[in-house]
Every structure is written in C-alpha cells, then in structure tokens.
Amino acid sequence: MSESSIRSPIGLVEALRFLTIIPLPGLPPMNEQSVVRAIPWFPMAGLVIGGVLTAVDLLARPLWGDLSAAVLVVAMWGIITGGMHLDGLSDTFDAAVSWRSRERKLEIMKDSRIGVMGASALIMILFLKVALIAGAPGAWPALLLAPILGRWADCFCIYWFPAAREGGLGRMFNSQVRQRDFWLASLLTGGVTWLIANFNGLIAFGLVLGLAYLLARWWVRDFGGLTGDTYGALCEISEVVVLATLTVRLGNG
C-alpha cells in the first residue's frame, strides 16, 4: 500500500480540522506537518462544508422563504469556517488597494484592524452570496460546489505561485507542497465537479482557474508573492464565481 493511500484519510481529517470548526475530539494538536498533509484534501473538506450548507438551505427555505434561508446559509458558511477566509479577504483588499510600498502593504495585511476597503470587500462578498442563493431556489449544486472549487483555487495558487514572505503560512505551504498534492487535489475536484454539475460544473471550474490565475498574478506583482490572507481572498471570490455561474445556468434551465 502506498504512502498516499495510507495517509489519505488522515489528510482529510487534518483538512477538516484546519478549515472548519467541526469538533474532532481525541486527536493531537495540529502542527506544521499535519497542516501540510491536509493541502491535497482541502477541496474534499469543502465538500463537507457544502453538504452542511445544502442541508441548511433545504431545511430553512420551506420554513422561512428564500431570503431568510440565504441569510442563514451565509451565516452558517462563516460560522463553520470560523471566518478564516473572510478575514483574509478583508486584509487582502485593505492592502491591495492602498497604493503604498510593498513592505507597507505586507504590514497592513498583518494588522488585525479592518479598513474601509477591507470592510467594503467583505460586505460585497456577503451580499453577493445572499443575493445569488436567494435568487435560485433549488441551487444545491452551487452550494455543494462553491466550497470545493474555492479551496481548490487555494491548492492551485499554493503550488504554482511563490510565497510573499518568510515565516508565514504562505511560505510554509509553498515550500512543502508537492506536485502530487496538487494533482491529487485537482483529480478529486474534477471528478466531484462532474458528478455534481456536469458541464456546468466544468465551466465553473474553468472560470475559477482563470480568475485565480489573474488574481494571483496581481498579488504576486504587488506583494512579491502570496500569503495566508490572499489564499482566503481567493477562496471567497472563487466561491462567488461558482455561485454566480451555476445559478445563472439553473435560472435559465
């Protein structure tokens, strides 16, 4: 039995521990090795998140209507992930549009305070998610797939783009991720995407790939590489792209 087949279930558990607040008792504290082991399983952790979101939507929509259900779904989205990617989104946009030096932009991302542009990006993402979910009853493929492709976008950028600074989360990921980690994540994501949404899912996959590439190029130019915060921003923006793509198809179907 290969090393990857032995470690596969462990990697999925580590991905869930790192990316969600789902309780998994009886496990040792996470360390650098366990976080790196989780990388190829980020998209499958997204599938678990999507399953929770779909369940909330299916339960809430008949009881309280489309808008209330969408708000509850987006609230659960933030809760189950601990707001990790939302925090990265706000920090990234505070820095990316500050038009200051590269060093100052990296300092801004490390600052826990939120600025006007970070707050604007956060509000826009949350409103878009609510609007897209509310406007598409029966949008369970979009809810399942958005967290998967959002986390695949992180795997893609972790592997293909450099880290911005020494000692950060981005550097740890980028220095230790392996080629087989990226391809495992991509194969799993591609297969699950096809099963959930067929050609429409592959269209969303392609759009996420293109957008992740363009955003990563922008931030590498501005910051000198990617950081943990930019991975969070990539995930959030990619999720909205998937929701928009699949709800358009559902609405026209």
Q: Residue 82 and residue 42: Cα distance in Å, rounded?
A: 15
Cα–Cα distance between 241 and 160 in angstroms, integer?
21
Least confident of 12-21, 63-72, 102-111, 192-201: 102-111
Is the confidence at residue 166, as pLDDT, over 80?
Answer: no
184's tokens: 């495992």
For the segment 37-52, the average pLDDT, to the nearest whole number, is 95
For residue 253, the model assigns a pLDDT of 44
CA 89 to chain centre: 10
Evaluate if residue 128 carries a pLDDT over 70.
yes
CB-based contact 7:36 (threshold 8 Å): no
pLDDT band at 8 (very low <50, low <70, confident <90, very high): low
Q: CA–CA separation, 54 vs 60, rounded Å?
A: 10
Q: What global pTM score does this model have?
A: 0.92
Q: What is the pLDDT of residue 120?
A: 96
Q: Determine phi and psi for 25, rounding to 5 degrees.
A: -70, 165
